[in-house]
């Protein structure tokens, strides 16, 4: 972790400056601005003062000693849980609504029991060259205002809600980290979300991104840090303590598909413990995402899985932390300056967005919006 933390990127975007414009106003290079935002370069006093003057904020708002940036405090209220609701665990999400003099709390369904959003329907089988005939439902749709994001973090849906206010739509394609990076490599998506931890260095994402993409071809923006661990039924009825217990015959797991960051983590831990995958009940049974895996545990189809703390909170499950890792957004540099992309990146620096991520549990937003590459 850097000794000096900064909010330079957030203030720059909030004030409407591009990196080039801010560099010109302060008298440094664009590369210097990016290096400061990434935390790899600490400016001298004169540069820090010029930045504060241009961005119209105190220096202390831009730079602080590591650990001095406090987490946002959430307001507390007393609410009435809607009668007929399941018993909720601390940390589970609710929606609030004022009904006469009572603040009512309703738990949203973790499974979307509604028709998905659609712009078109498939009209025929795919043709030989891969194109698929579709019939467009709304002829006046402007698809150029959209950003196609591939990833596995359910919290991207929070970002989608916030950018909608700016007239930008995110189209979310659920893919694991390896699949997302492959789609970006093939130029099929604008953004790839990833959480792949390098076993040798312990670094999140950057080593794998460096192996896949040419130097200086992509930008990497941090979305958040999250906790990943073992999810069990509420109360942990089988007293699971760690991955070493996965070899017990009375414990079943639900795994993630190949290429998923959670599966990479599981395989790494099993290898260190000397446990063969064939000795883990349910190893070959997979779920396509953090929430689907958590749902398997919630429904009793499996005793445990690896997923995020936020997924545990959605279903009121017991959580055993294993590690903290960073979830990043990878963007091709030619897409970085698109106005809709800049609008999306601006949202990452907003306090209301960060508070919602923090409130979901397991998300550390101190790195959110920071450019790493």
What is the pLDDT at residue 323? 92
Same domain, 51 and 99: no
CA dihedral 199, 202, 203, 207 (to 10 degrees): -20
Q: Which residues lie closer than 8 Å to 274 by C-beta, 6 or more apart?
A: none
Is 68's pLDDT higher than 70? no
User: Could you read off the pLDDT of 264-287 as tens digits, one per residue?
Assistant: 999 999 999 999 999 999 999 999
202 within a domain of the structure (yes/no): yes
What is the pLDDT at residue 86? 75
74 within a domain of the structure (yes/no): no
* Terminal-residue alpha carbon distance, the chain: 16
Instruction: Give the CB-side neighbour count of residue 360, counting CA atoms within 13 A.
Output: 25
168 within a domain of the structure (yes/no): yes
103 within a domain of the structure (yes/no): yes
User: Could you read off the pLDDT of 83-116 as tens digits, one per residue?
Assistant: 777 777 787 778 787 777 778 888 776 666 566 6
70 within a domain of the structure (yes/no): no
Same domain, 131 and 194: yes
Q: Which residues lie closer than 8 Å to 36 by C-beta, 6 or more apart?
A: 6, 8, 42, 43
> Which residue, 155, 77, 212, is CA-closest to 355?
155
Is 19's pLDDT higher than 90? no
Same domain, 125 and 53: no
Residue with tokens 């840090």: 225
Same domain, 346 and 262: yes
pLDDT above 70 covers a percentage of the chain that reads 92
What is the pLDDT at residue 57? 83
d(CA 372, CA 151): 18
Same domain, 243 and 99: no
What is the pLDDT at residue 85? 74
d(CA 42, CA 63): 9
Same domain, 156 and 87: no
71 within a domain of the structure (yes/no): no
Is 256's pLDDT higher than 90? yes
For residues 358 and 218, the model is more confident at 218
Same domain, 173 and 287: yes
The β-bridge relationship of strands 318-332 and 191-194 is: antiparallel
Same domain, 210 and 343: yes
User: What pTM was estimated for this model as a whole?
Assistant: 0.72
Q: How confident is the model over 225-239, as a mean pLDDT?
A: 95
What is the pLDDT at residue 210? 94
* Ramachandran sector of residue 214 (left: φ over 0; alpha: ψ -120 to 50; beta: rest): beta
d(CA 6, CA 151): 27
Confidence of residue 61 (pLDDT cuts 50, 70, 90): confident
SS3 content of the chain, % helix, strand, coil (to 5): 35, 25, 40
113 within a domain of the structure (yes/no): no
* Residue 245 belongs to domain with CATH number: 3.40.190.290
Domain that holds residue 158: 121-373
d(CA 121, CA 128): 19
Q: How confident is the model over 166-178, as a mean pLDDT?
A: 88
C-alpha distances (whole Å) from 134 to each of 60, 130, 183, 276, 353 are: 54, 13, 21, 46, 35
Total structural domains within the chain: 3
pLDDT above 90 covers a percentage of the chain that reads 43
For residues 140 and 308, the model is more confident at 308
What is the pLDDT at residue 200? 82
Longest pairwise C-alpha distance within the chain: 65
Same domain, 167 and 132: yes
For residues 68 and 85, the model is more confident at 85
Chain mean pLDDT for the chain: 86
Is-contact 209 373, C-beta < 8 A? Answer: yes
Same domain, 244 and 333: yes
Same domain, 158 and 259: yes
For residues 365 and 101, the model is more confident at 365
Is 69's pLDDT higher than 70? no
What is the pLDDT at residue 20? 85
What is the pLDDT at residue 360? 75
What is the pLDDT at residue 1? 45
- The count of other CB atoms within 10 Å of the CB of residue 274 is 8
Same domain, 337 and 233: yes
């Amino acid at each position: 972790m850097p000794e000096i933390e900064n909010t330079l990127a957030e203030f720059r975007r909030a004030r409407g400056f591009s990196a080039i414009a801010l560099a010109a106003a302060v008298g440094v290079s664009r590369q210097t601005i990016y290096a400061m935002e990434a935390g790899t370069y600490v400016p001298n006093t004169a540069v820090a003062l010029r930045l504060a003057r241009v961005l119209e904020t105190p220096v202390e708002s831009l730079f602080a000693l590591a650990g001095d940036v406090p987490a946002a405090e959430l307001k507390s209220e007393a609410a009435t849980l809607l009668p007929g609701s399941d018993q909720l665990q601390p940390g589970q999400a609710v929606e609030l609504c004022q009904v006469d003099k009572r603040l009512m709390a309703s738990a949203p369904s973790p499974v979307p029991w509604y028709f998905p959003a659609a712009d078109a329907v498939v009209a025929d089988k795919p043709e030989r060259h891969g194109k698929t005939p579709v019939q467009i439902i709304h002829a006046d749709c402007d698809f150029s205002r959209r950003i196609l994001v591939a990833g596995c973090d359910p919290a991207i849906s929070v970002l989608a809600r916030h950018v909608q206010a700016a007239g930008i739509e995110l189209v979310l394609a659920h893919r694991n980290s390896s699949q997302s990076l492959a789609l970006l490599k093939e130029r099929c998506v604008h953004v790839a979300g990833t959480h792949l931890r390098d076993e040798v260095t312990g670094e999140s994402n950057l080593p794998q991104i460096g192996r896949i993409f040419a130097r200086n071809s992509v930008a990497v923006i941090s979305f958040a840090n999250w906790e990943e661990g073992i999810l069990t039924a509420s109360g942990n009825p089988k007293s699971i303590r760690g991955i070493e217990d996965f070899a017990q015959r009375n414990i079943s797991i639900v795994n993630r598909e190949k290429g998923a960051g959670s599966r990479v983590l599981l395989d790494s831990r099993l290898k260190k413990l000397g446990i063969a995958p064939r000795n883990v009940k349910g190893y070959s049974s997979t779920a396509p995402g953090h929430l689907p895996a958590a749902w398997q545990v919630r429904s009793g189809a499996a005793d445990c899985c690896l997923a995020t703390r936020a997924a545990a909170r959605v279903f009121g499950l017991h959580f055993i932390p294993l590690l903290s890792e960073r979830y990043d957004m990878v963007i091709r540099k030619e897409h970085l300056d698109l106005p809709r992309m800049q609008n999306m990146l601006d949202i990452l620096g907003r306090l209301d967005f960060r508070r919602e991520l923090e409130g979901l549990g397991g998300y550390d937003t101190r790195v959110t919006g920071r450019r790493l590459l």
